[in-house]
Amino acid sequence: MKQEPGCVFCGIVADPSNSDVVWDDESVLAFMDINPVTDGHVLVIPKDHFVGLTDITPETAGRMMTVAQGMAQAMKNSELRCEGVNLFFADGEEAFQEVFHSHLHVFPRFRDDGFMIDAHWSGRSKESLAASAMMIREVLEPPRR
**From its phi and psi, is residue 92 left (phi > 0), alpha (psi between -120 and 50) or beta?**
left
Find the DSSP H helices in the chain: 8-14, 58-77, 126-139
Question: Helix or strand or coil: residue 15?
Answer: coil
Give catalytic status of residue 103 as yes or no.
yes
Q: Point out the catalytic residue in the list 41, 49, 101, 103.
A: 103
Beta strand spans in the chain (E) = 21-24, 28-32, 42-46, 84-88, 104-109
Query: Measured between alpha carbons, how far is 43 from 129 in angstroms, rounded to an integer?
Result: 33
Those residues with Cβ within 8 angstroms of residue 15's Cβ, 6 or more apart along the chain or in another chain: none
DSSP helix, strand, coil percent of the chain (3-state; round to 5): 35, 15, 50
What is the set of active-site residues? 103
